Every structure is written in structure tokens, then in C-alpha cells.
Amino acid sequence: MVLGRHTPALPEYAPHILHGIPRADARPALGLDKDLPFFGVDLWHAYEMSWLDGTGKPVVYVGRFTVPASSPCIVESKSFKLYLNSLNNTRFATAEDARSTIVDDISGTAGEGVTLELLSVGDPLLAGTPLPGTCLDQLTIEPSFTEPRPEQLQVKSGQVAEEMLYSHLLRSLCPVTGQPDWATVWLHYRGAALEQHSLLQYIVAYREHREFHEQCVERMFRDLTQRCTPQFMHLQAFYTRRGGMDINPFRSTAADAQPLARLDRQ
């Protein structure tokens, strides 16, 4: 794995640099097995995609990748970035030739088919959108930076709620390098009403927690499910970009639910 190691840019097409991290490495510790309690995707934006057209002229795109949460592996982000940059001096006759090559390589790493949209850098689909719901960040809490725990989440006895809540205060650490990852987290659920102060305190507890983005979101999903027994729940984290890429893990109780668009912050 190249994560945590000094790795120079690769001058030639290098699909071998891609590295998959088995999701099964982390899920058993969360009590998750093959019968997952959620559906979802890992939505990636790659802002530095470039290769050469048939004449040798550079072209640039923004790529939107969708990796199913059911795939056997996470695509490790540093290897993903190095792989995309290895395409910079590679010629493709058409954009579709490039797209199909990239999809094959990433799908092989994830262990399941991924999708890729190639967007122009000025595409309106890349405009950031405000989140629906209530921001929790003005609430007063007593933060604890130990470890996030399900019992930190409190519910209001006998009350059921449907609400959308979000916070910009999520920070977690890379489990390999210890470097911080910053994100906004958004929740839409119907179930036992969450005590909002406790939800914010739980989110802030991730501040020194070492886990990959996708694993953090699945931990949150499990903990929230245990505490508020939702009739439905959608959960998404919008991580800010590193090395020209952002990651947006989305998990839901509904098979047909779709992730939200990117944020201005990203």
C-alpha cells in the first residue's frame, strides 16, 4: 500500500498502483456481515483528471465516480490519485475510450462495477448546494475526544420525529498517517427522536478517531440505528478534498435512495 509512503508521480499509465482495502477488515468489528443493514455508495469527485487526445493535446475533466457500498473493497484514496495522474501523458482516441479504461481499472480494484461520469470543469452539476435541514453547530456541548460510543446518543423518551440534521464539525483521522480528514455530516431519519445536543457531541467525538471515511460513516449508521431504531434513515458525509479528490460515503435503509450533491465547502 502506498498510503503513508513517499511515492513520486508516475509518468506512465500505471493501473498496478491501485490498491483495494477489503471492507471485511472493519465490518465484523461493527457487527456487520454479509447481510448489511444498509444500501449506498461511495461518491467520489476527481477534480484533476487529464489525458491526451488523439492529437496529443491535453484534455481535462472532473470525474464523478460511484462505488457501490456492496463492493468487496474500498478504493484506497492515495493509490486512486496516483493512478489518475498516471494517465496524464497517455493518449486516448476518444473520451469514451479513456472512461471505459478507467471504469475497468477501478471496478477491478473495488471488486464490483463502478460508474464514472465525465463532467466539464464548468458543468452546473458541480455547483455546490445548501443542505436541507437544521444545522447543529450553534448548540452548546461538553466535548469528549475519547472515542465515539453509541451510548453518547440520547433519545427523547416516547417521542418520534422525522428530521434532517447536519453538522460541519466532523473531523476524523487517517488510520495509517494520522492526518486529519474534515467533513460535513448529514442525517435524515424517522424514528425515536434524537436529543440534538447528544448527536453533536457524538459527532465531535470522532475528532481523534482513526478510521477510513467509509468506515466512519458505517459506524455512525450502526450507532444511530441502535439508538433511534429508525423507520428509515439516510446518512452522508461530505469530506473535503485531498489531492484533488473528495469522498462522500452515503448509506441508507432504502435501496433506491440517492446521495446528495457536493457542497460549496468541497
Q: Which residues are catalytic?
A: 174, 181
Cell numbers standing for residue 96: 469514451
Q: Which residues contact 95 (CB under 8 A, 6 or more apart)?
A: 59, 61, 118
CA dist., res. 168 & res. 157, Å (int) = 27
What Å distances lie between residue 54 and 58, 62, 86, 211, CA to CA? 9, 19, 17, 42
Q: Give the total residue count for the chain.
A: 266
Residue pair 163/133 in contact by the 8 Å Cβ criterion: yes
Q: What are φ and ψ of residue 78, in 5° steps?
A: -65, -45
Q: What are φ and ψ of residue 243, in 5° steps?
A: 60, 30
CA dist., res. 111 & res. 71, Å (int) = 6
Nearest CA-CA partner of 162 in 189, 142, 187 = 189
What Å distances lie between residue 117 and 63, 72, 88, 139, CA to CA? 6, 22, 18, 38
